[in-house]
A and B are shown apart, each in its own frame.
Chain A
Amino acid sequence: MRRREFLKLSGATVGAMALGGSAQAQLFPDGFPNPFRAPPGKWFTKDDVTTSYNFCEICFWKCGIKATTQGGKVRKVDGYAENPKSRGMLCPRGQGGVATTYDPDRLKRPLIRVAGSARGSGQYREATWDEAYDYIAEKMNAIKFQYGTESVAFYGHGTGDKWFAEYLPGAWGSPNAAKPSVSLCTAPRETASVYTFGRGIAGHEQIDWEETNYIVLIGHHIGEDTHNTQLQEFALALKRGAKLVVVDPRFSVAAGKADDWLPIKPATDTALLLAWANVLITEELYDAAYVEKYTLGFEQLAAHVAQYTPEWAAEITDIPADTIRRIAREMAAHAPRAVLPVGRHVVWYGPDDIHRMRSLYIVNALLGNYGVPGGYYFCDAPIVEAYPHPELPLAPAAGGCGGGPTEVAADSPFRPSVDRGKFFGSATAVQEFIEPMITGEPYPIKGLFSYGVNLFHTIPMVERTKQALNNLDLYVAIDILPMEHVMWADVILPESTYLERYDDLHLQAHKIPFIQARFPAHPPLYDTRSAFDMAKQLGERLGLGEYFPWSDVEEYLDRRLSSIGSSLEAMRNQGTITRRGRPYFADYERLNRNPLDTPSGKIEFYVERWAEAGLDPLPVFLPPIEGPAGMYRLLYGRSPVHTFARTHNNAVLMEAHGENHIWISTREAARLGIANDEYVWLENQDGVREGPIRAMVTERIRHDCVYMVHGFGHKAPLMRIANGRGASDTHLQTRYDLDPVSGGAGLRNNWVRLIKGAPDPQHPPIAWIERERSRA
């Protein structure tokens, strides 16, 4: 037998035994003869405990945290006061998210699918990192040789997506890089904002909650989609006496705090917003001085919205005309400290989405609140120089929504992305990459990286996605847990968690702009790597080493921080560096600068560039698509303790929210004979069935729609806790409607019926699963 040498005897003990002293040594440390408990009083001395700065990765608010580590394990994470995103507080999922690092179902080392086995069958062998990189590089080069670099696509979501959805695609030469956070989430709001204000919203909604006195939420799920300081500020505004109006077909958590709940008919929000614009203008309630100074196209807008009377909107929205007028007048009475906050997930109905977002921004501007205390503030990210490197062959575009069609120069060696021509804007759209994987048009996509994107719980038309994956020559999944789509990959690269790795600096655009850093609380538990390391190693094997000139992540970070007079060691003891913001027009005007980066330098009610492109230059109302008779429009939303479909194997968070429900109105439930808490099936317009899911019979929702929380209904037996709990809205989304301007995929034009007779799945308590994990 050959000795396996992953363990070694320390010199001291070897020496002692060589002297024969071992016979005198105690068998157990400190004479504490219990192999299942560490000696008491030995493990929590002050010297054993370390703290490290980090930022939370459980959701994308990215709160600054301090991790407390003892015995090689993080015992607690907390916010800290100096960080503007946490201010010393942390939400339940931030606290509970720690458990993901110690999840026994984690991916532990690189795996390569056994040749000849079917995707999804789980036939893998372990591989070294070198072997995995070489395998991927060889396949990528083969695709490059046969189809071109553009035929490898990249998806990414999370802090490390910089490397796999931006930097590596740019170095490699593929424009087909996309993030679901764009076309499956924010694309309409970003595109509308850029064309209206000349500025995007980006990752931090710049609502001046601290200064506002009147808040109107349009389908905004604050309180359910818990973003730490956003919620803190919202709660403080209400405590201070701000009035709240909630427009939502559902009596949401926010509606429960509201002065007015307007249960609007789904897909008609744009009509309501246009009617509010109508009232503000026809009753001369808008901020005339602000409009005169900062906006362009008011006359066209006024003429345009004259048709959108409250009476017209009442017929469409089910909101009485008197209520529409009253709310408009109240907003105006509180202006400019009245605000209609932009939400985050806004891809609802497809072509209507861009008009809804434009209408929302226009009403805000009529109230004179953009760039003014109590409305929207300006925020820019702090500047830290990039690590010097050669210019990338292709500019990363995965996160961009900022302009018109991306024109490829005639002499460019690269083809445009496969989604060009499908919509006006410059974003790349995740869902539009799928079809070329199947049809090969306009050219084939034969390779795919998925970094942190759960393909089967993110992209609509799941079966189409599976069909596409089966057509690939290379599919690489980079993740932490064995999500369903991961087990379809040719190569699985396991990523270290946020508690185990460094990452690039996080530069946060905020009212108080700040820089935050991530330091590992302890080494990776398994043979896992960071995206930073993976991209560099892979890049070097692809002959792209010149674009990765740094030696390691510590040197990389130190070099970047040196550009602002700091260092990695200084940051290690500080965590966050704040900068002074310029939140309002007045801050810019003192410097003779204009924060509005539109062609006119003004807020553009009328978008000339869209008119030239044959698009509506002013927002219009598009009648909603109606569903089949007897079916309900499927609405979905968030849970305060879960993030997308990422956290449903986390025992701590699943204890707090372990399955989703389908909300249905009391009237409709009675008609169908469905009792509260009864399990039902959901079947959509294309016959796709999901569930069982528990019915929540309630007066809190209109009769023409149903609602469920997104992210449940996993179909991955390996995820012992998540598997089979609740139903998946994504699997019921067998259609989407493309917004021809932003590229967003409207997901709320799917309908379901509820079918009785579903069995009670009798889910065991989470604690029991934890106790019984893997027992035969």
Chain B
Amino acid sequence: MNAAVERTETVDETLRLTLELVAATYRTPDAALRADLAGGAFAVALAEVAHATGVAVPALADVGWTAIEVAHVALFVTNPRRVPAPPYVGFAADDELLGPTAEALGAFLRHHGVEVRAGWGDLPDHVAAVAEAGALLTNAGRTDAARVLAAAYLLPWFERYAPAVVAADDSGFYGPLSEFFRSVMSEVAREDAA
């Protein structure tokens, strides 16, 4: 394997892992995330991404599971002091739900054969759904499409909302992770551009 191919495979793997981490982080906290946190898989994956991109590993507070659940609701779902970060990539771009960016994203995903399962129960441009789509496309060999998702949709969301999450997060979990993912996405985009 020559160096260029090896580097490409490493970059692809980093992208895939990053997208899976984003998907796991921003969807409703579930048993899988809880197990990955408790079992250390989440931390290992974070360390791999950090190593590959040169971004510092985020220092996550040792908070209880309930604190993560509450923080997720307060940051992304419902909050009496307003939701700091509506988790929709189309909204980040358009200030409108189901606007032109979400439409374009929908067309893009359909074009690549990705569709939303019936039980998802949220908008298709939820940041967790977009990341999951990217991970699937990477696994299917369409890393180019996954890169579009990361650069055109996810990175703008993180650029806009990561600071808001950092400012509003009481848990010590979502704030550091959001800043980490923003940095990683920027790094991936920079490398792509290079």
Contacts and interface: CB of A to CB of B under 8 A. Distances in A.
Interface in A55-77: 71-73
A27 B17 CA distance: 22
Contacts of B93: 36
A492 B108 CA distance: 35
Interface stretch (B7-15, B53-61, B99-107): B99-107
Interface in A618-667: none
Contacts of A43: 103
Contacts of B24: 1, 4
A752 B143 CA distance: 66
Contact of A717 (B80, B97, B136): B80
B184 interface: no
Given A108-B77, A527-B121, A4 B32 contact: yes
Interface string A102-113: 111101110100
Nearest to B104: A38
Q: Which of B41, B72, B97, B100 has the most CB of A within 10 A?
A: B97
Contacts of A122: 74, 78-81
B110 A124 contact: no
Contact of A774 (B85, B107, B114): B85
B187 interface: no
B117 A774 contact: no
A319 B80 CA distance: 49
Interface string B114-143: 111101111100001100110010001110
Interface stretch (A8-16, A186-194, A239-247, A329-337): A8-16
A13 B136 CA distance: 12
A688 interface: no
Nearest to A117: B70
A499 B86 CA distance: 22
Nearest to A39: B107
For chain B, the bracket of interface size reads 35 or more
A125 B66 contact: yes
Interface in B151-185: 152-153, 160-161, 163-164, 167
B35 to A, nearest CB: 7
Given A9-B136, A13-B112, A114-B70, A718 B77 contact: no
A51 interface: no
Nearest to B160: A775
Given A121-B80, A126-B72, A22 B141 contact: yes
A771 B114 CA distance: 30
A7 B129 contact: yes
A67 to B, nearest CB: 15
A395 interface: no
Nearest to B90: A36
Contact of B88 (A5, A104, A717): A104
B72 A71 contact: no
Q: Which of A39, A73, A105, A125 has the most CB of B within 10 A?
A: A125
B38 interface: no
A80 to B, nearest CB: 25
A552 interface: no
B105 A14 contact: no
Contacts of A12: 113
B80 A120 contact: yes
B45 interface: yes
Q: Which of A1, A72, A527 has the most CB of B within 10 A?
A: A1
Contacts of A46: none
B77 A1 contact: no
A290 B98 CA distance: 61
Contact of B113 (A4, A13, A27, A716): A13
Given A108-B122, A111-B73, A527-B122, A774 B116 contact: no
B52 interface: no
Given A8-B115, A35-B148, A108-B77, A17 B104 contact: no
Contact of B117 (A6, A38, A109): A6
Contact of B144 (A27, A39, A42, A526): A27
A773 B41 CA distance: 35
Given A125-B73, A718-B81, A771 B107 contact: no
B164 A775 contact: yes
Given A4-B27, A7-B133, A13 B36 contact: no
Nearest to B166: A776
A123 interface: yes
A105 B83 contact: yes
Contacts of A385: none
Nearest to B130: A7
B91 to A, nearest CB: 6
A10 B142 CA distance: 14
B95 A36 contact: no
A774 B79 contact: no
Nearest to A71: B103
Nearest to A122: B80
A126 B111 contact: no
B39 to A, nearest CB: 10
B104 A14 contact: no
Nearest to B41: A1
Contacts of A28: 108, 111, 148
Contacts of B66: 114, 125
A37 to B, nearest CB: 5
B107 A102 contact: no
A319 B5 CA distance: 94
A13 B140 contact: yes
Given A10-B114, A125-B73, A717 B82 contact: yes
A293 B129 CA distance: 72
Contacts of B21: 1
A716 B28 CA distance: 24
What are the 8 closest A-B residue pairs judged by CB atoms, nearest first? A13-B113, A527-B121, A35-B152, A122-B80, A29-B111, A125-B69, A776-B164, A10-B113
16 contacts: A1-B36, A4-B30, A4-B32, A17-B140, A27-B145, A28-B108, A29-B108, A29-B110, A37-B104, A71-B106, A103-B97, A107-B78, A124-B78, A723-B82, A776-B84, A776-B161
Interface of A: 1-10, 12-14, 16-17, 22, 25-29, 34-39, 42-43, 71-73, 102-105, 107-109, 111, 114, 120-126, 482, 484, 487, 492, 525-527, 716-718, 720, 723, 770-776
Given A10-B115, A35-B148, 16 more contacts: A4-B27, A4-B128, A7-B114, A7-B136, A8-B115, A8-B117, A8-B136, A13-B114, A13-B140, A35-B152, A71-B98, A122-B81, A124-B73, A125-B69, A126-B28, A776-B164
